[in-house]
Amino acid sequence: MFLKKNIGAKIALLPMIIISLTVFVGCIIYSFIYSLTNSKLIPVFNYVGFDQYERLFKTRKWDVAVENIFIYGFVFTIGCLVIGFLLAVLIDQKIRAESLFRTIFLYPYAMSFVVTGLVWKWVLNPTFGIEHSMHLWGFTWFELDWLVNRDLAIYAVCIAAVWQGAGFVMILMLAGLRGIDEDIWKSLSIEGVPKWKSYIFVILPMIRPMVITSLVLIAAGVVKVYDLILALTSGGPGYSTTTPAMYVMENFFSRANLGQAFAASIIMFISVVCILAPWAYYEFYFRNREAKA
Amino acid sequence: MKKFFSILLTLFIPLSFTNASKAAGHMEAEVIHWWTSGGEQAAISQFAKAWEDMGNTWIDTAITGGENARGTTVNRIIGGNPPTAAQFNISKQFVDLVEQGQLQSLEEVASAEGWRDFIYPKALIETCEFEGEFYCVPVNIHSSQWMWINKEVFAKAGVAEPNTIQEFINVAPAIQDAGFIPLALGGQPWQESLMFDVVLSSTLGRDYSRQVYGDKDVSAFRDGRYELALQTFRDLNKFIDEGAPGRLWNEATAMVVEGKAAVQIMGDWARGEFAVAGKVAKEDYNCVIPGEEKYVGLGGDVFVFPKSSDPKVKEVQLKMASMMVNPTVQANFNNAKGSLPMRLDVDTSAADACMTMGLELIKNPDALLKDSDDYNSPAFVNAWDDVLTEFRNDSGYSVADAMDDLENVLTSGL
């Protein structure tokens, strides 16, 4: 019964299911098994229990990496959503040369993170970026040393990331705004609701699917952030902008410390599951029941 | 179904053909290395030329960046498609490969040609020898214990050129007052730790360095001298400009070449940057090994030869190993590379003043210094560098905390 329903679609999905199971699940199991070994350059089954995890949690660099991913995740998601929505609202005001602005704001998204990283590296570099130009113009009090200040460097990364991501959110939101019926606007204006209030309390809930889509797409980018930071700071100054993904890659390749890399990636995987599980449960199970009821 | 199989077949036929031609034809060798800059290309092509003059084919697989190249080599070995030869550093990077039996022993050719007699310094033999058999070919020596000095900047600042780190710290404020950056540094972990190791070996000497990095002697590490070195390292910080984080080593060298900065502490490969800019050693710039006693480290490169199931490959590998240590090939290669050869009977008449200094020093066995990565695994060295880079960049990271974190690494068994 279960099998017969949509049998064509199920057959079409079969390759994907097989790939998912073997590649993703298989690799996760493989990673977990070898995270219990002291493999160095090549995977060797030399069981050491949870030593790698113990070492991982004792490492100051890992703490910094975890803290950074939270700062980055928070600032990047909120920044993109707020700025993206504001840009969409502004463009929605039937302005002149709309497509020009749309292109300008979306343009950064067309670039690779590596390019974004390099551009912002030059802009924010105190010895030849904005700070230097301001000094040359006589504003010697001007200071913009975020990139080389170990406490602020992660926020410099966030700025670059928001600059790239906000335009993408703007387009999604704009599509949502354009889908709003003219009649709703008319009735809102008859009721005399101020524009900002109608946006926040009426329109925003109506484009909820767009907000969720943006959120999911952006959040997926958070966990895997790697290339941007590599190009912008390479994890520096010191290791103040390092992230879990960078920690894993480093241990895989330059450090020839496979066991540690596997342990770190398993921890990354578990934390992603912990964050996604309640949401997935809500979206797929709870709401299904809601819909049926 | 028939069609499916024929597609499958056509996919595999070319593969089997390439394998066959590899085995049957003349000697063909694929070499993975990371020598991609102009000078480095010139050097590796000396090997390629010598190989091709012997009537063989050289397949050049150049991959930018040592980490990437080494990663590719390891992946291909695990994947069962190893290259004929692959570059590593003089270090513990490839110990795992030897222990897992993935590398071809070169003992046959090594004992036939008497490598143990002519390879110099003897410490290079220790790098390559495992259980009495040779597993790698050292090809050159690079040392990192150098201070590169712009003579003009010192003349303008009116201070004497330093011979020790302490002398430099004494004159650095005057250089700063004259409007120059006293110390050019690229703020990447490996550069910071290179600088620290120069501070350590030049102020505390070779034996101390061995006790800490080689013997992992906690009591020597804790006897107050290491703290002193960390403090000196921190003292140097105020002579570094704020743009340092993330800067590449050659950008920092360029600051010295252009006269923006007075000094850079960097390996002997920095000489190439001065040479390209048309500067003359001892006239425009000076090279100094800081410290009362001068040491040169034994960094450099080796080639290893991954094992293959094909017996013909071994023959190729032994032939190539023998070619790499040939005195004429060594002379051509090292003159192009600007590094020191791995044997003394090589013509080095093309060496400049700085390189000659290195050549003289290396003849004295008491001047040879082993670096941390000659003793330790990459995981250990990098964990150590993590603490050092954080220590340099975070002024709130106290010497005592850094000592505790370093001791954790020292006793971690990495």
Average pLDDT of the residues in B116-125: 88
Over the stretch B261-295, which tens digit does the pLDDT of each residue have?
999 999 988 888 888 888 888 899 999 999 888 88
Tell me, what's the ipTM? 0.79
A242 and B CB contact within 8 Å: no
Query: Which residues on chain B place their C-beta less than 8 Å from a C-beta of chain A?
Result: 67-68, 70-71, 74, 77-78, 93-97, 100, 102, 187-189, 241-246, 377-379, 382-383, 386, 389-394, 405, 408, 412, 414
Tell me the pTM.
0.82
Residues of A numbered 174-233 whose beta carbons fall under 8 angstroms of chain B's beta carbons: which are they?
233
Q: Looking at residue B17, what is its pLDDT?
A: 43
DSSP label at residue B210? I
Task: Tell which of A64, A152, A254, A262 to mutate to test the B interface (max B CBs under 10 Å).
Answer: A254
Query: What percentage of chain B exceeds 70 in pLDDT?
Result: 94
CB contact under 8 A, B246 and A236: yes
Q: Residue B200 pLDDT > 90, yes or no?
A: yes
Compute the count of residue pairs across chains A and B with CB atoms less than 8 Å apart. 97
Task: Name the minimum distance, in Å, from the CA of A253 to any CA of chain B.
Answer: 6
* CA separation, residue B9 to residues B13, B14, B15, B18 (Å): 6, 9, 10, 15
For residue A255, what are its two tokens? 């450090």
Let me know how many helices (H) and strands (E) chain B has, helices first: 21, 13
Chain mean position to CA B137: 14
**Identity of the amino acid at B344:** L
Q: Looking at residue B1, what is its pLDDT?
A: 46
Q: Looking at residue A287, what is its pLDDT?
A: 67
* Residue from the list A60, A127, A153 with its beta carbon closest to the beta carbon of B405: A60
Residue B350 CA to residue B336 CA, distance in Å, equals: 10
Chain B residues within 8 A of A52 when measuring between CB atoms = none
CB contact under 8 A, B242 and A148: yes
Residue B75 CA to residue A270 CA, distance in Å, equals: 27
In chain B, which residue's Cα lies nearest the Cα of A126? B243
Residue B179 CA to residue B159 CA, distance in Å, equals: 13
pLDDT < 70 stretches in chain A: 1-3, 286-293
Q: Residue B19 pLDDT > 90, yes or no?
A: no
Residue B97 CA to residue A251 CA, distance in Å, equals: 17
Q: Residue B403 pLDDT > 90, yes or no?
A: yes
- The ranges assigned to domains in chain B are 27-143+298-366, 157-293+377-410
In chain B, which residue's Cα lies nearest the Cα of A132? B243
CB contact under 8 A, B243 and A239: no
Task: Tell which of B75, B387, B389, B401 to mutate to test the A interface (max A CBs under 10 Å).
Answer: B389
Task: Name the minimum distance, in Å, from the CA of A217 to any CA of chain B.
Answer: 30
Chain B residues within 8 A of A40 when measuring between CB atoms = 96, 377, 379
Q: Residue B320 pLDDT > 90, yes or no?
A: yes
Q: Looking at residue A288, what is its pLDDT?
A: 67
Q: Looking at residue A291, what is its pLDDT?
A: 63
Q: Residue B13 pLDDT > 50, yes or no?
A: no
8 Å CB contact between B211 and B404: no
8 Å CB contact between B76 and B69: no
Chain B residues within 8 A of A250 when measuring between CB atoms = 382
Chain A residues within 8 A of B242 when measuring between CB atoms = 126-127, 145, 148
- The ranges assigned to domains in chain A are 61-292
The residues, any chain, with a CB within 8 Å of residue A30's CB and separated by 6 or more, are none
Q: Residue B11 pLDDT > 70, yes or no?
A: no
Its CATH architecture, for the domain B27-143+298-366, is 3-Layer(aba) Sandwich (3.40)
Quickly state the pLDDT bin for B21 (edges 50, 70, 90). Answer: very low
User: Where is pLDDT greater, at B189 or B2?
Assistant: B189
Q: What Rg do the C-alpha atoms of chain B give, in angstroms? A: 23
Residue B202 CA to residue B294 CA, distance in Å, equals: 7
> At how many degrees (to 10) do helices B399-410 and B225-236 cross?
120
In chain A, which residue's Cα lies nearest the Cα of B75? A42
Q: Are the folds of B27-143+298-366 and B157-293+377-410 the same?
A: yes
Q: Looking at residue B148, what is its pLDDT?
A: 94
Q: Looking at residue A144, what is its pLDDT?
A: 83
Q: Looking at residue A275, what is its pLDDT?
A: 80
Its CATH architecture, for the domain A61-292, is Orthogonal Bundle (1.10)
Q: Looking at residue B20, what is its pLDDT?
A: 41
Strand partners of residue A14: none
Task: Name the minimum distance, in Å, from the CA of A27 to any CA of chain B.
Answer: 16
Chain B residues within 8 A of A42 when measuring between CB atoms = 74, 77-78, 96-97, 100, 102
Considering the domain B157-293+377-410 in this protein, what is its CATH number?
A: 3.40.190.10
A135 and B CB contact within 8 Å: no
